């Protein structure tokens, strides 16, 4: 019996014993998990070492075969003339080790020109009124100015030109998806739709 406080009941003693058992079990489980992780790491390291050894063995065998091939080609060239020269630059060279020779130049293909094509139903390039002609607003007045300002030759600042050397305005187009007019311009052989 403790000299301080009330005596412990049996239930309190049993509860403390259960808590101690649970803590011990948790500690044991953690130790087991740590041991399993260490074993897995050791196994992975062993597997990596085995793979490296196998690769080294394969490389050694390839080098030995290449050395034997070089020796046979060198002996033929020294004894009989052009036996070693025939393999120079051909498909049986010692550097390729039985693989086909590498092509240093890839076949060049011409880039295809981008063609300006209008998706049907998306833009009406002629700007002719269709079934929804009543719902369309009037086309904007400064369409040519918008087109000229979008031209690559038109720049602001000290060298500003009020009129570009060549007007690129090609007309108006009705954008069906956005329900608005767009200006058509053309430069570099391509037609583009700008503005609203």
SS3 148: helix
Position 91 scores a pLDDT of 47
Tell me if 151 sits within 8 A of 168, measured CB to CB: yes
Q: What pLDDT digit, counting tens, does each position of 154-164 carry?
A: 555 555 555 44
Q: What pLDDT digit, counting tens, does each position of 108-159 carry?
A: 666 655 555 555 555 554 455 455 555 666 666 666 666 656 555 555 555 5
Q: What pLDDT digit, counting tens, does each position of 40-59 carry?
A: 999 999 999 999 999 888 98
Tokens 């037609």 correspond to: 191
Tell me if 185 sits within 8 A of 150, measured CB to CB: yes
With 0.85 as the threshold, say if the pTM is over it: no
What are the boundaries of each domain within the chain?
10-80, 123-194
Tell me if 71 sits within 8 A of 99, measured CB to CB: no
Position 86 scores a pLDDT of 47
Strands (E), 23-178: 123-124, 169-175
Position 35 scores a pLDDT of 92
pLDDT > 70? residue 89? no
Looking at every residue in the chain, the average pLDDT score rounds to 68
Q: How far apart are CA 3 and CA 144, in angstroms?
A: 105
pLDDT > 80? residue 63? yes
For residue 28, name the pLDDT band (cuts at 50, 70, 90).
very high
Q: For residue 78, give every residue at least 6 positions away whose Cβ sits within 8 Å of its Cβ, in sequence order, or none.
A: 84
Nearest-5° Cα angle at 147, 141 to 151: 160
Tell me if 167 sits within 8 A of 154, measured CB to CB: no
For residue 39, name the pLDDT band (cuts at 50, 70, 90).
very high
Tell me if 176 sits within 8 A of 121, measured CB to CB: yes
**Torsion sign, CA atoms 7, 9, 10, 15:** negative
Q: What pLDDT digit, counting tens, does each position of 177-195 carry?
A: 777 777 777 665 566 666 6
């Amino acid at each position: 019996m403790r000299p301080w406080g009330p005596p412990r009941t049996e239930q309190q003693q049993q509860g403390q014993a259960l808590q101690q058992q649970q803590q011990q079990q948790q500690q044991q489980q953690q130790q087991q998990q740590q041991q399993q992780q260490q074993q897995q790491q050791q196994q992975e390291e062993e597997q990596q070492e085995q793979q490296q050894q196998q690769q080294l063995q394969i490389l050694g065998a390839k080098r030995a075969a290449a050395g034997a091939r070089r020796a046979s080609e060198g002996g033929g060239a020294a004894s009989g003339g052009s036996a070693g020269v025939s393999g120079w630059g051909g498909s049986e060279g010692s550097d390729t080790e039985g693989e086909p020779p590498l092509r240093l130049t890839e076949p060049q293909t011409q880039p295809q020109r981008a063609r300006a094509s209008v998706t049907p139903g998306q833009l009406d390039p002629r700007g002719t009124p269709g079934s929804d002609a009543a719902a369309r607003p009037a086309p904007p007045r400064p369409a040519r100015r918008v087109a000229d300002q979008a031209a690559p030759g038109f720049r602001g600042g000290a060298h500003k030109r009020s009129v570009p050397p060549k007007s690129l305005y090609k007309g108006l187009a009705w954008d069906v998806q956005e329900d608005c007019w767009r200006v058509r311009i053309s430069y570099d052989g391509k037609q583009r739709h700008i503005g609203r």
